[in-house]
Structure 1
Amino acid sequence: MSTEQRTSSNTPFKPLWLLIAIIVLVGILLLPTPADLPEAGHRALAILGFAVVLWMTEAVSYPVSAALLIGLISLIIGLGPSIEDPSQIMESKKALKWALEGFSSSAVALVAGALFLAAAMQVTDLHRRIALLILSRVGSKTNRIVIGAILVSIVLAFFVPSATARAGAVVPILLGMVTAFGLSKNSRLAALLVITAVQAISIWNVGIKTAAAQNMVALDLISKTMNVSFTWSEWFMYAAPWSILMSIILYFVMMKTLPPEAHEITNGQEMVRQQLQEMGPLKNTEIRLIIVSLLLLFFWSTEGILHDLDTSTTTLTAIAILLTPGIGVFSWKEAEEKIPWGTIIMFAVGISMGGILLKTQAAAWLANGFFNLFGLNAMPILSVIAIITLFNILIHLGFASATSLASVLIPIVIAIVGALEHEGLNTPGMVLLQQFVISFGFILPINAPQNMLAYGTGSFTVKQFVRTGIPLTIIAYLMILLFSSTYWKWVGLI
C-alpha cells in the first residue's frame, strides 16, 4: 500500500524536530482551554500538534511515532478530566483503550491482508512478469513505452494493493530499458519513464479502493461516525472515471514537460523479451496466485451485488489459502520477511488518533474554526469543495505519509461536512471526495513512499518531478471541481 513506511533503519533520528514536537505539545497544553472545547479535546489537540510535527518532519520513524502516541494518549488524556463528567479523572485504562481501538478495526485487517498479498506477488515475482508482458506488447517507440508504463501501473493496481510494491516492480524494468538503449539512468528518458510510472500509481490510488492503505482510514472513520460503508464496486464507480481521464492527461503532461532525447528504444523490447525468457514459463505458484487474485478481484467487485462478504473477509480468506502448505504460494517465514509490520502499527494508531479527535470534540472545534474563517454555510457547495480541496492539497506538501494525513484531516472533514446545512447533501460522499484528494502526491518526491523509492534510483531530480507535478496537481484540482459539478452529482456522491 501507498503508506508503506520506511523502517527505522533508514529514517534518521532528528532530535531537534523531536524537541520542537515536545515544545508544541507542552505549549498547546499550557494554553487556556477554550470555553466550547472539553479539556480532553484540548489535550487531544496538543497530541495532534505533536504528531503533526513528527509526521511532517519524520523526526523519528513512523512506527516509533505510533508507539509515542499510544503512550501520550494513555497518560495525557487518561490523567485528564472525563468528557462525561469533568469532575472525574478519565483513567489511563480508558484512554489506552481509545489508543488501541484502531487495532481492532477491520480496516487494519484489510491492510495487513493486502500487505501479505503484495508479499506473495514479490515472492513469486508475478508482478514483474505482468509488467514485462505489458511492456513487451507496447512496442519500442518512446511514447508507446510511456503508455505502457501507465498501463502497467493501472493493471497492477487491481492486483497489488501496495503502491511501493507496484513501483518496485516496474521502475527497475523501465530503467533496464533505458540502459539497453545506451543512455544513463539520469537521462531525460529515464526521468520521463520513472516519473510517469509513479504518478500513474498515485492516480490509481484514487481509482481503486484497495490500492492504498490511506483509503481504509477514511472508510473506517466514515463507517464508525456516519454508519455508511462503500463497497469496492461503488468506490470504483465513483473514482475510476476520474482516474481514467487523469491517466490520459498524464501522458500528454509528461510528454510535454519532459520530452525524451530519442523517439525509439531499439534494444528495449529485446531486453524485455530476454527478461521474460529468463523468467521461464509460469510456475505453479504463479498460476495458483493468479487464480486466487482473480477470484479475490471477483469477490471485491461483486460485494453487495452477488454476496455480502466484505472486502476484509475475502482478503483474509485469500491470504489463508495462499499460506496453506500444499495449495499456497509462500510460507509464513517468506511473508514475514517482506511485511512492513511497522506500517500496520502506524495505520492502526492513525485510525485511533482520528477516532480520538472525533470523540473528544477536537475535530468539531477545529471544523467550527474553519467555518468561521471561510463562512462555508453561506457558500455554494462547489465553492466549499474548492476551498477544502485546496487546503487538502496544500497541507499534503508537508506530509510524507498519506495515512498520517488522512488520520489528521478526515476527522476534521467529517465534522465540517456534518455541520453543513445544504439541503440534500451526501455528507459521506463529501468526505470520500476529500479522501480521493489525500492520494494526490504529485508535487514533491517526499509526498508519497513510491515517489521516494523512485527518487532513490537517481533517475530524476526534484526539479524535474516538480515540473511535472505542478501542472498535474492543477489539472487534478480542476478535474475534482469538474466532476463535482457533473458526474459525481449525477451518481449521487455529493
Structure 2
Amino acid sequence: MTDGVSTVQQDGNNMAPDKKSKTEQMMKKIGVPLAIAVALLLFLMPTPEGMSIEAQKSIAIFTGALILWVTTPIPIYLTSLSAILLLPLVGAVDDQKVAFGTLGFDVIWLMVSAFILTSAMVKSNLGRRLSLWMITRFGKTPKMTLFLLVLINFILAFFVPSTTARATLMVPICLILLEVYRAIPGKSNLGRVMMLQGVQSDALATSGVMTATAGNIIAVGFINDQAGGNIGYMDWLLASMPTAIITMTLTFFIGLKIFPIKGESNFHQAMDTLKDELAKLGSFSLDEKKAVSIFLFTVILWATGDYHSGWFGFEISTEQTAVLAALLCLLPKIGLMTWKEANIKWELMIFAAGAYAVGNALDKSEGALWMINKLVVALGIEKMNHVWVYVVVVFLSMYSHLIFTSKTVRVTILIPAFIALAKTLGMDPVPLALAAAMTMTYTITLPPHSKVNTIYFGTGYFSVLDQVKYAIITCFIGACVISLAVFTWFKVIGI
C-alpha cells in the first residue's frame, strides 16, 4: 500500500500541465505593443478638462501596466519595476518616495511574514498531521469526511497563508482516500464533490482570514491608506468569516444535492490507509511543537489586539505581530528553520510594491477620482440608491474573476476604483471597499481562474461543466450573503 500511496502523492503534486490557450498566447504576443501604444496615446493626447497633467501621466502609466499585468507578456514583477521607475521619471509624482517607498509599506512586511509562517507549517508537517488526524478520528462516513475536509481548509487558512500551499497539502490526502475507496475519476460523485468542495472551501476560507492570501493584505492596505479605514486582523475576521461560513454551509448541502453520494463500501479501508499515513509521521517532532507554540502565540496576539494597551501599556499591531512570529520561526534554537528555507515570493513583493505605487499616484493626482466621476456619469450610478450601489459593486467584484484571473491584479484595479466611487457619491468608502474585497478570493468558476482550481482539476474527478455549474450557484449565494451583511452584520460590528 505504501507504493500506491507514494504514487498518488507524486501524481497529486504534478497534476496539471501548464498549457496556454490560443487566447492566452495571442494576448502574450500583443501585450507589449498594445501597452506601449495605449500608454503613449494617453500620455500625448491633450489633457482633458478638469484633469491635472500629473493625473494624465499617472493614468497613462497605470493603463499600460494594467494591460501588461492582464496579458502577462513579461512577468508581473517586471511590469511593477517599470511602473515604479517611470512614475517619478515622467513627472507623474513629484516625490519619488511615492513610488520607491512602497516596498517599505506595512503590508509588504505582513506578506513577507506570511510566507515565512507558511514555510514553517510545511517544513514541520504540522498541517499534514492535523488534516490526517481529524479525518481518521471523526470521518466515519463519506459525508462526515467531506465536512471535515471543508473544516480543515477553514482551519488551515489561519495558519497557512497561501491558497496553493493548502491545495498542495489537501489534494494528496483526498487522492489517498479516493484511491482506496475505489472512486473512479469522472464517474464517482464522491470524488467529484470532494474535489469541487476542496476548490470552494479553499477560496471561501481565504476570504474569511485577512492573512490567508496576499490579495486580502493588499486590499486592506488600500482601504486603510486611501479610504481612511482602520481595518485590522480581527476587523476583517469579524466582517468576512461569518459570510464565508454561511455561504460554505449552504453550498455544502447544495453540492450534495447536485452530486448525490450513494454507497459507502470500502470506506473503512480508506480510513485504515490514512491511519497508516498518520502513523508514519510518528510522535510530535520538536519542529511541530515549536510551530504550534508560535502559531498559537500569533493568533492570540491578533485576536486580543483591542486589549494590548490595557495589558502591556502599548499596542502590538497586526504587522508587528506577524514580523514577531516570523522572527520566532527564524531565531536559532527557538525557531525551526533558516532564512534559506523560507520560501518568500519576492516577485510578489515587487508586484505589490508596483501596484501600490501606481495606485497611490492615481490617488494623489486625483486621476482615479476623475475616471470614476466619468464612469458614474456614463452609467448613471449617481442616480442609484446607495443600497443598489453596494449590491452592484459586490456582484461586479464577485464575477470580475471571469475577466481577471489574478486576485492581486483584481484587487489592484478594483479596490482603489471603488474607494474613489464611494467618495464621488458621498458614501463611506470603507464598508463598500471591504465588501468588494471579501469577494476577491471567489475564483472558482473555471480551472484557469486560479492555481488551486488547476491543481484540483488535474485529478480528473470533475469536468469543467461540473465546476461551472457548482460555482455559479456558490458565487451568487456568496454575493447575496455579503450584500446582506453590509446592511446588517457590518452595522452590528461597527463598520
Q: Scaled by the length of structure 2, what TM-score is found?
A: 0.88
Contact 1:17/1:53 (8 A) holds in 2: yes
Partner-residue secondary structure (3-state), 2:73: coil
Q: 1:309 aligns with which of 305, 308, 316?
A: 316
Counterpart residue number, 1:280: 282
Counterpart residue number, 1:373: 378
- Tell me which moved more, 309-318 or 342-351: 342-351
1:284-299 correspondence runs (5 A): 284-299=286-301
Partner-residue secondary structure (3-state), 2:87: helix
Contact 1:15/1:59 (8 A) holds in 2: yes
Q: Partners in 2 of 1:318 and 1:463 — Cα distance?
A: 42
Q: Partners in 1 of 2:66 and 2:454 — Cα distance?
A: 20
> Are 1:482 and 2:484 matched, yes or no?
yes
Q: What's the offset of the Cα at 1:407?
A: 1.1
Contact 2:394/2:483 (8 A) holds in 1: no
Counterpart residue number, 1:395: 400
Q: Partners in 1 of 2:413 and 2:361 — Cα distance?
A: 10
- Compared CA separation, residues 459 and 354, structure 1 to 2 (3 A): farther
Counterpart residue number, 1:221: 222
Q: What's the offset of the Cα at 1:244?
A: 1.4
Contact 1:382/1:484 (8 A) holds in 2: no
Partner-residue secondary structure (3-state), 1:439: coil
Q: Partners in 1 of 2:262 and 2:169 — Cα distance?
A: 25
Q: Residue deviations 1:441-466, cap 9 Å, x none?
A: 12223333322333344443322221
Partner-residue secondary structure (3-state), 1:441: coil
Counterpart residue number, 1:196: 197
- Tell me which moved more, 208-217 or 454-463: 454-463
Partner-residue secondary structure (3-state), 2:183: coil
Q: Partners in 2 of 1:15 and 1:440 — Cα distance?
A: 29
Counterpart residue number, 1:342: 347
Q: What's the offset of the Cα at 1:333?
A: 1.8
Partner-residue secondary structure (3-state), 2:305: coil
Counterpart residue number, 2:210: 209
Q: Partners in 1 of 2:305 and 2:192 — Cα distance?
A: 39
Q: Partners in 2 of 1:220 and 1:169 — Cα distance?
A: 29
Contact 1:117/1:319 (8 A) holds in 2: yes
Q: Partners in 2 of 1:193 and 1:18 — Cα distance?
A: 41
Counterpart residue number, 1:358: 363
Counterpart residue number, 1:59: 73
Counterpart residue number, 1:122: 122
Q: What's the offset of the Cα at 1:366?
A: 1.8
- Compared CA separation, residues 196 and 35, structure 1 to 2 (3 A): same
Q: 2:414 aligns with which of 400, 409, 412?
A: 409
Matched letter for residue 203 of structure 1:
L
Counterpart residue number, 1:155: 155
Q: What's the offset of the Cα at 1:29?
A: 3.1
Q: Partners in 2 of 1:284 and 1:59 — Cα distance?
A: 45
Q: What's the offset of the Cα at 1:186?
A: 4.6
Contact 1:129/1:276 (8 A) holds in 2: yes
Q: 1:382 aligns with which of 380, 387, 394?
A: 387
Counterpart residue number, 1:323: 330
Contact 2:244/2:478 (8 A) holds in 1: no
Partner-residue secondary structure (3-state), 1:267: helix
- Compared CA separation, residues 167 and 428, structure 1 to 2 (3 A): same
Number of residue pairs matched by the alignment: 466
Q: What's the offset of the Cα at 1:203?
A: 0.9
Q: Partners in 2 of 1:176 and 1:129 — Cα distance?
A: 14
Q: Residue deviations 1:89-127, cap 9 Å, x none?
A: x5xxx34x3332320101010011000000111111111
- Compared CA separation, residues 311 and 10, structure 1 to 2 (3 A): farther
Partner-residue secondary structure (3-state), 2:403: coil
Contact 1:162/1:212 (8 A) holds in 2: yes
Partner-residue secondary structure (3-state), 1:242: helix
- Tell me which moved more, 278-287 or 462-471: 462-471
Matched letter for residue 403 of structure 1:
T
Counterpart residue number, 1:5: none
Q: Partners in 1 of 2:74 and 2:456 — Cα distance?
A: 22
Q: Partners in 2 of 1:199 and 1:31 — Cα distance?
A: 45
Q: Partners in 2 of 1:356 and 1:195 — Cα distance?
A: 40
Q: Residue deviations 1:123-159, cap 9 Å, x none?
A: 1111111111222233242222221111011110111
Alignment RMSD (CA, Å): 2.3
Q: Partners in 2 of 1:354 and 1:262 — Cα distance?
A: 54
Counterpart residue number, 1:175: 175
Counterpart residue number, 1:244: 245
Q: What's the offset of the Cα at 1:249?
A: 1.3
Counterpart residue number, 2:5: none
Percentage of matched positions with identical amino acids? 26
Matched letter for residue 464 of structure 2:
V
Q: What's the offset of the Cα at 1:260?
A: 4.3
Counterpart residue number, 1:4: none
- Compared CA separation, residues 21 and 262, structure 1 to 2 (3 A): farther
Counterpart residue number, 1:470: 472
Unaligned runs of 5+ in 2: 1-16, 310-314
Q: Scaled by the length of structure 1, what TM-score is found?
A: 0.88
Partner-residue secondary structure (3-state), 1:328: coil
Matched letter for residue 229 of structure 2:
V
Q: 2:431 aligns with which of 412, 429, 432?
A: 429
Q: What's the offset of the Cα at 1:230?
A: 1.6
Q: Partners in 1 of 2:35 and 2:451 — Cα distance?
A: 23
Matched letter for residue 445 of structure 2:
I
- Compared CA separation, residues 122 and 186, structure 1 to 2 (3 A): farther
Counterpart residue number, 1:79: 90
Contact 2:84/2:357 (8 A) holds in 1: no
Counterpart residue number, 2:47: 33
Partner-residue secondary structure (3-state), 1:59: coil
Q: Partners in 2 of 1:35 and 1:196 — Cα distance?
A: 51
Counterpart residue number, 2:339: 332
